[in-house]
Amino acid sequence: MKLGIIGLPQSGKTTIFNALTRGDHPVTMSGGRFEVHTAVVDVPDPRVDDLSKLFNPKKTTYAKVAYADIAGLEGAASGDISGQLLSQLSQMDGFIHVVRCFDEPNVPHVMNSIDPQRDIDTMEGEFILNDLIQVEKKLERLAEELDRNSRDKTEVKREMTLFERIQAFLNEEKSLRTVEFTPDEEWIISGYGFLSLKEMLIVLNLGEDQEVPEIEYSCHSCVVSLRGRLEMEISQLSLQDAEIFMEEYDISEPSLNRMIRSSYDLMRLQSFFTVGEDEVRAWTVRRGAAAREAAGVIHSDLQKGFIRAEVVPYQDLLSLGSMPEARSKGKLRLEGKDYHVRDGDIMHVRFNV
């Protein structure tokens, strides 16, 4: 999973990217230049820590999320996102929109005032307008196809009906992530990389001691708040110093951990685990995935030769203390290929290739 960190210039998106990665990329204005910095981040999960303590493995591996800090969006609401920037945005699975709430006189806002609601609406409008331009071009091409008889007319008309419906939603300034599509329709539009179709996590970047502002946002997205500069300072401390700092400020955990988990939830993902003396590992799978699909996440051979999955819920294993005890108490189940994996399941796949 790869999420793009976006926002207007001087919103603090690189500050948050640095906090996530313990990096030191310059946080000064890029002047609208197209730049991308990418890093992979562990998804904090106390269940992995508990299982690691239980099995004392040689290796512990957390689930991962890739973040890309994408500069170049100016919020001009022109819909003219093109070239490398559009290509990068289209490749993202979802977005983290960093919205400036802090007031810093030495760093003026590009729109000359602090207004989180306006900035959210501006970015959403930019994506909607860009999608609308794409849809209008697609409808022109479909009309030409009808004239040329180069494809089955029934199929072309079916696509025209779909894209006309999408056009109507966009003209009403509705993000496509709020629209219900059938599986067939999702397949047709999947290759277009529509920006307003992608999931969006709004991150309100607060100043020191600033209250969370009230905003209205009903585009099927999540909203979290954090203090970006403080989070970056904490991330650049040693582990021991960071713990002292957080205790002094009564911070139970970095807000970035909440942001990472929220972005994981945003994409409707969940974790299941494999355990043993060699490795305790969290694996990422979509919610509702069947056991055979989850086996393929571990290795394609496991999916190909899937026989059964031995499954025990995390909480049961933790309370019983061992796999043999879970088996003797009847908590270790044998499940078939169509079993829907649940968040926190511990799996061992039986297979034969």
Q: Which of 150, 149, 189 is nearest to 166 (CA)?
A: 189
d(CA 212, CA 28) in angstroms, rounded, equals 25
DSSP H helical segments within the chain, as ranges?
A: 13-21, 46-55, 83-91, 116-148, 153-171, 183-189, 228-235, 239-248, 255-266, 291-298, 300-304, 314-320, 323-328
DSSP H helical segments within 58-110, as ranges?
A: 83-91
pLDDT at 77: 53
Note the CATH number of domain 288-351: 3.10.20.30
d(CA 197, CA 190) in angstroms, rounded, equals 10
Torsion angle (degrees, nearest 10) of CA 79, 82, 85, 87: 110
Could you tell me where in the chain the CATH 3.40.50.300 domains are found? 2-42+62-112+198-266
- Is 3.20.20.390 the CATH number for 2-42+62-112+198-266? no
Are the C-beta atoms of residues 228 and 39 closer than 8 Å to each other? Answer: no
Question: Phi/psi at 282 (nearest 5 deg)?
Answer: -95, 135
CA dihedral for 203, 205, 210, 215, sign (positive or negative)? negative
pLDDT at 208: 82
What are the DSSP calls for 314-349, one per residue?
A: HHHHHHH-SHHHHHHTT--EEE-TT-B--TTEEEEE
Query: Which region, left, alpha or beta, applies to residue 220 given φ > 0 means left and ψ of -120 to 50 means alpha?
Result: left
- State the CB neighbour count (10 A cutoff) for residue 239: 6
Could you tell me where in the chain the CATH 1.10.150.300 domains are found? 125-196
- State the CB neighbour count (10 A cutoff) for residue 188: 15
d(CA 343, CA 286) in angstroms, rounded, equals 10
Fold of 125-196: DNA polymerase; domain 1 (1.10.150)
pLDDT along the chain (353 residues), means of 10: 90 88 67 76 92 96 92 65 83 93 88 92 92 95 86 89 96 92 93 92 89 78 85 85 83 79 86 96 95 96 96 95 92 95 96 87
Could you tell me where in the chain the CATH 3.10.20.30 domains are found? 288-351
Pairing between strand 199-205 and 222-226?
Answer: parallel
- State the CB neighbour count (10 A cutoff) for residue 84: 11
First and final CA of the chain: distance in angstroms?
29
Are the C-beta atoms of residues 266 and 245 closer than 8 Å to each other? Answer: no
